[in-house]
Chain A
Amino acid sequence: MKFGKRLKQHVEETLPGWRDMYLNYKDLKKLVRLISSSLEYGKSEAEFVYLLNNEIDKFNMFFMEQEEDFIIRHKELQQRIKRVNESEPSSQEEYEEEMSRIRKDIVDFHGEMVLLVNYSNINYTGMAKILKKYDKRTGGLLRLAFIQKVLEQPFFTTELVSKLVKECETTIDELFPTAMVAVELKDATITMVGEGIFRNTVAALMTMKEIRNGSSTQSHFSLPALSLPDTELIRSFQLNSPIPSI
Chain B
Amino acid sequence: MEDIDAVCSDNSDHEINEVQHSSLLDAVSQLDIKQRVKPPSRKESSFQVSEFHLGKNDANRHAVLIRNLTKSLGQQGSHAVITKQLRSIHRKAKTLPRPLEKPVAARIQRSVGFRNAKIQLGRWDAVVYSNRVADQLSFPLKQSTVSFQTTNDFISKLKSQTRTPLEQQMDEILNNSPAVQEERKEEEEYQLSLAEMRERRREMAKLRAQQSYMASKASRQKKIKSKKYHRILRRERIRQQLKDFEVLQKTDPEAALQQLEQLERTRAEERMSLRHRSTGQWARNKAVRAKYDEESRQELAQQLAVSRELTQKIQVESSSDEEVEEENCENRIPTNNDNPWIAPKTTSEVDEFVSEYRKYWEEHNKKSSVETSSTNEIAAHNKVEDVREVGSDVRKGHTQNHETAPGDKNIKEEDLMGSCSLESVNTTDKNNEDICIDTDIPVKEGQKCTDAVYNSTETPAAQHSTFEEVSSTEGQSERKPNEENDTAEWINNSTEILSKEERLSPKKLKSTGEELNSNTLVHPQMKNVSPSKPKSMAEQEDDGTKIIPKWISLNKHKQVNISSGVHQKRNISPNKQENITEEVNNNIMIQLKRKKLSEKKPNATAEQVNSKKKKTKSSFNTDGDKFEPLECHSTLIATTNSWVVTPIVPEMGKMVDYNISEGKSNKQNKRNSTDKSTKKKEVKIGKLFDDMQEKLKEKVDKKLKKLKSEMNIKDKDKAEDTNTESDNEGPSLKLKQVNVQANMDEELVEQPHDGLQETESSNMNLNKIVAESRLEEEQQEPPADNIDPNKFIAMKPKHLQTELPDIVTGGDEAIDDNEDDSTERQMTITEAFAEDDVVAEFRKEKEEVTDKSQPKSIDLSLPGWGEWGGKNLPVSSRKKRRFIIKFPAVAPRKDTNKGNVIINEEKNNKVVSHQVSELPFPFTSVKDFEASIRAPIGNTWIPETAHRKLTKPSVITKLGTIIKPMDEDMLVNKEKKVKGMP
Decide if A and B are genuine partners: no
